[in-house]
Protein backbone atom coordinates (compact mmCIF):
# COMPACT_ATOMS: atom_id res chain seq x y z
CA UNK A 1 0.00 0.00 0.00
CA UNK A 2 1.18 3.46 -0.83
CA UNK A 3 1.88 5.78 2.10
CA UNK A 4 2.60 9.45 2.27
CA UNK A 5 4.03 11.76 4.91
CA UNK A 6 1.86 14.64 6.09
CA UNK A 7 2.19 17.47 8.54
CA UNK A 8 -0.84 17.77 10.83
CA UNK A 9 -2.41 21.24 11.06
CA UNK A 10 -4.97 20.17 13.70
CA UNK A 11 -5.26 17.42 16.32
CA UNK A 12 -6.61 14.22 14.77
CA UNK A 13 -7.91 11.48 17.07
CA UNK A 14 -5.88 8.26 16.97
CA UNK A 15 -3.33 9.85 14.63
CA UNK A 16 -1.42 12.71 16.21
CA UNK A 17 -1.29 16.24 17.52
CA UNK A 18 -1.01 19.55 15.71
CA UNK A 19 2.47 20.09 14.23
CA UNK A 20 3.47 16.42 14.11
CA UNK A 21 4.75 14.72 10.98
CA UNK A 22 3.04 11.34 10.47
CA UNK A 23 2.94 8.61 7.84
CA UNK A 24 -0.52 7.71 6.60
CA UNK A 25 -2.01 5.80 3.70
CA UNK A 26 -2.19 7.90 0.56
CA UNK A 27 -5.96 7.52 0.21
CA UNK A 28 -6.60 8.68 3.78
CA UNK A 29 -4.49 11.77 3.19
CA UNK A 30 -5.97 12.50 -0.24
CA UNK A 31 -9.63 11.87 0.68
CA UNK A 32 -9.87 12.99 4.30
CA UNK A 33 -6.94 14.94 5.76
CA UNK A 34 -6.03 17.24 2.87
CA UNK A 35 -9.56 18.31 1.77
CA UNK A 36 -10.53 19.15 5.36
CA UNK A 37 -7.30 21.08 5.85
CA UNK A 38 -6.37 18.89 8.80
CA UNK A 39 -2.95 18.28 7.25
CA UNK A 40 -0.60 19.40 4.46
CA UNK A 41 2.03 17.44 2.59
CA UNK A 42 5.28 17.32 4.53
CA UNK A 43 7.48 19.12 2.00
CA UNK A 44 10.59 20.94 3.28
CA UNK A 45 8.88 24.30 2.60
CA UNK A 46 5.77 23.35 4.59
CA UNK A 47 7.90 22.05 7.48
CA UNK A 48 9.81 25.36 7.58
CA UNK A 49 6.54 27.30 7.52
CA UNK A 50 5.12 25.28 10.43
CA UNK A 51 8.35 25.75 12.40
CA UNK A 52 7.95 29.51 11.90
CA UNK A 53 4.34 29.30 13.08
CA UNK A 54 5.18 27.06 16.06
CA UNK A 55 5.27 29.98 18.53
CA UNK A 56 1.82 31.12 17.46
CA UNK A 57 0.59 27.51 17.61
CA UNK A 58 1.89 27.09 21.18
CA UNK A 59 0.13 30.30 22.26
CA UNK A 60 -3.07 29.16 20.57
CA UNK A 61 -2.79 25.74 22.25
CA UNK A 62 -2.29 27.35 25.69
CA UNK A 63 -5.26 29.65 25.13
CA UNK A 64 -7.51 26.76 24.04
CA UNK A 65 -6.46 24.67 27.05
CA UNK A 66 -7.10 27.58 29.47
CA UNK A 67 -10.54 28.12 27.92
CA UNK A 68 -11.31 24.39 28.21
CA UNK A 69 -10.21 24.30 31.86
CA UNK A 70 -12.37 27.35 32.68
CA UNK A 71 -15.35 25.76 30.94
CA UNK A 72 -14.67 22.50 32.81
CA UNK A 73 -14.73 24.36 36.13
CA UNK A 74 -18.10 25.88 35.19
CA UNK A 75 -19.51 22.52 34.10
CA UNK A 76 -18.40 20.51 37.17
CA UNK A 77 -21.71 21.11 39.01
CA UNK A 78 -23.85 20.66 35.90
CA UNK A 79 -26.48 17.90 35.77
CA UNK A 80 -28.59 16.98 32.76
CA UNK A 81 -32.11 15.58 33.04
CA UNK A 82 -33.95 13.86 30.20
CA UNK A 83 -37.60 12.80 30.20
CA UNK A 84 -38.44 10.09 27.66
CA UNK A 85 -41.21 7.60 26.91
CA UNK A 86 -40.55 4.37 28.76
CA UNK A 87 -41.73 0.78 28.36
CA UNK A 88 -42.85 -1.41 31.25
CA UNK A 89 -39.34 -2.61 32.19
CA UNK A 90 -37.72 0.83 32.32
CA UNK A 91 -36.38 0.62 28.76
CA UNK A 92 -36.67 3.74 26.64
CA UNK A 93 -38.51 3.98 23.35
CA UNK A 94 -35.48 5.23 21.44
CA UNK A 95 -32.39 6.36 23.33
CA UNK A 96 -30.41 9.34 24.60
CA UNK A 97 -27.47 9.91 22.24
CA UNK A 98 -24.42 12.16 22.15
CA UNK A 99 -26.40 14.58 19.97
CA UNK A 100 -29.11 14.87 22.63
CA UNK A 101 -26.48 15.55 25.31
CA UNK A 102 -24.81 18.20 23.11
CA UNK A 103 -28.20 19.87 22.48
CA UNK A 104 -28.98 19.90 26.22
CA UNK A 105 -25.58 21.47 26.92
CA UNK A 106 -26.28 24.10 24.25
CA UNK A 107 -29.59 24.95 25.95
CA UNK A 108 -27.66 25.50 29.19
CA UNK A 109 -25.24 27.85 27.40
CA UNK A 110 -22.29 25.53 26.68
CA UNK A 111 -21.30 25.18 23.02
CA UNK A 112 -19.99 21.60 22.71
CA UNK A 113 -19.67 19.63 19.48
CA UNK A 114 -21.50 16.28 19.62
CA UNK A 115 -18.28 14.49 18.60
CA UNK A 116 -16.75 15.67 21.88
CA UNK A 117 -19.44 13.82 23.89
CA UNK A 118 -18.30 10.24 24.55
CA UNK A 119 -20.85 7.53 25.23
CA UNK A 120 -19.76 3.91 25.03
CA UNK A 121 -23.27 3.26 23.71
CA UNK A 122 -26.50 5.28 23.63
CA UNK A 123 -28.42 5.38 26.92
CA UNK A 124 -31.42 3.07 26.57
CA UNK A 125 -32.78 2.77 30.10
CA UNK A 126 -33.90 5.05 32.89
CA UNK A 127 -31.68 5.87 35.82
CA UNK A 128 -28.45 7.71 36.61
CA UNK A 129 -25.64 7.68 34.04
CA UNK A 130 -22.31 9.48 33.58
CA UNK A 131 -21.24 11.05 30.28
CA UNK A 132 -17.70 12.13 29.37
CA UNK A 133 -17.25 15.41 27.51
CA UNK A 134 -13.80 16.04 26.07
CA UNK A 135 -13.34 19.80 25.93
CA UNK A 136 -9.67 19.62 24.95
CA UNK A 137 -7.13 16.89 24.30
CA UNK A 138 -6.08 17.07 27.99
CA UNK A 139 -9.33 18.30 29.60
CA UNK A 140 -12.30 15.97 30.13
CA UNK A 141 -15.32 16.56 32.36
CA UNK A 142 -17.74 13.92 33.67
CA UNK A 143 -21.39 15.03 33.64
CA UNK A 144 -24.14 13.16 35.51
CA UNK A 145 -27.22 12.44 33.38
CA UNK A 146 -30.59 11.40 34.82
CA UNK A 147 -33.12 9.75 32.53
CA UNK A 148 -36.70 9.48 33.79
CA UNK A 149 -39.93 8.29 32.26
CA UNK A 150 -42.72 10.62 31.13
CA UNK A 151 -45.40 11.30 33.72
CA UNK A 152 -43.10 10.37 36.59
CA UNK A 153 -42.81 6.75 35.48
CA UNK A 154 -40.68 4.60 37.73
CA UNK A 155 -37.03 4.01 37.01
CA UNK A 156 -35.72 0.61 35.98
CA UNK A 157 -34.58 -0.16 39.52
CA UNK A 158 -37.97 0.74 41.02
CA UNK A 159 -39.77 -1.28 38.35
CA UNK A 160 -37.61 -4.34 39.10
CA UNK A 161 -38.25 -3.94 42.84
CA UNK A 162 -42.01 -3.74 42.21
CA UNK A 163 -41.85 -6.87 40.04
CA UNK A 164 -39.91 -8.75 42.75
CA UNK A 165 -42.48 -7.61 45.34
CA UNK A 166 -45.32 -8.88 43.16
CA UNK A 167 -43.55 -12.24 42.74
CA UNK A 168 -43.07 -12.51 46.50
CA UNK A 169 -46.73 -11.70 47.16
CA UNK A 170 -47.75 -14.29 44.57
CA UNK A 171 -45.63 -16.93 46.30
CA UNK A 172 -47.15 -16.01 49.69
CA UNK A 173 -50.66 -16.24 48.26
CA UNK A 174 -49.84 -19.67 46.76
CA UNK A 175 -48.55 -20.91 50.13
CA UNK A 176 -51.70 -19.65 51.87
CA UNK A 177 -53.91 -21.45 49.34
CA UNK A 178 -52.02 -24.72 49.88
CA UNK A 179 -52.33 -24.36 53.69
CA UNK A 180 -56.05 -23.70 53.38
CA UNK A 181 -56.49 -26.75 51.11
CA UNK A 182 -54.56 -28.96 53.55
CA UNK A 183 -56.68 -27.70 56.47
CA UNK A 184 -59.86 -28.43 54.52
CA UNK A 185 -58.73 -32.04 53.81
CA UNK A 186 -57.90 -32.63 57.48
CA UNK A 187 -61.29 -31.37 58.63
> pLDDT tens digits for 50-94?
777 777 878 888 898 898 898 888 888 889 999 999 888 878 888
Query: What is the reported pLDDT for 159?
Result: 43
DSSP output for 70-82: HHHHHHTT--EEE
pLDDT at 4 over 70: yes
In a domain, 173, yes or no: no
Query: What is the reported pLDDT for 152?
Result: 61
d(CA 128, CA 45): 53
Residue 139: beta bridge partners? 136
In a domain, 186, yes or no: no
Query: What is the reported pLDDT for 130?
Result: 92
Provide the domain count of the chain.
Answer: 2
> pLDDT tens digits for 9-26?
888 888 988 888 899 999
Query: What is the reported pLDDT for 180?
Result: 52
d(CA 35, CA 66): 29
Domain that holds residue 141: 80-165
User: Binning pLDDT at 50, 70 and 90, where does residue 5 land?
Assistant: very high
Does residue 92 sit in the same domain as residue 148?
yes
Residue of 107, 108, 117, 106 lying closest to 141 (CA atoms): 117
Query: What is the reported pLDDT for 30?
Result: 93
In a domain, 87, yes or no: yes
Does residue 104 sit in the same domain as residue 153?
yes
> Mean per-residue pLDDT for 115-136?
89
Does residue 84 sit in the same domain as residue 52?
no
In a domain, 177, yes or no: no
> What CATH number does the domain containing 156 carry?
3.10.430.100
Does residue 85 sit in the same domain as residue 39?
no
- pTM of the full structure: 0.60
> What CATH number does the domain containing 29 carry?
3.40.5.10
d(CA 144, CA 80): 6
Half-sphere exposure of 89 (CA within 13 A, CB side): 2
Amino acid sequence: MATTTVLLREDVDNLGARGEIVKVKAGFARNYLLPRKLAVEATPGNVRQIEAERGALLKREARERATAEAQSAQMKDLRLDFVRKVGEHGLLYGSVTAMHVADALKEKGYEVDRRRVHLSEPIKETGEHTVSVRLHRDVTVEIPVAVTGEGGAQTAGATKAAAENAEGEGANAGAENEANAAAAENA
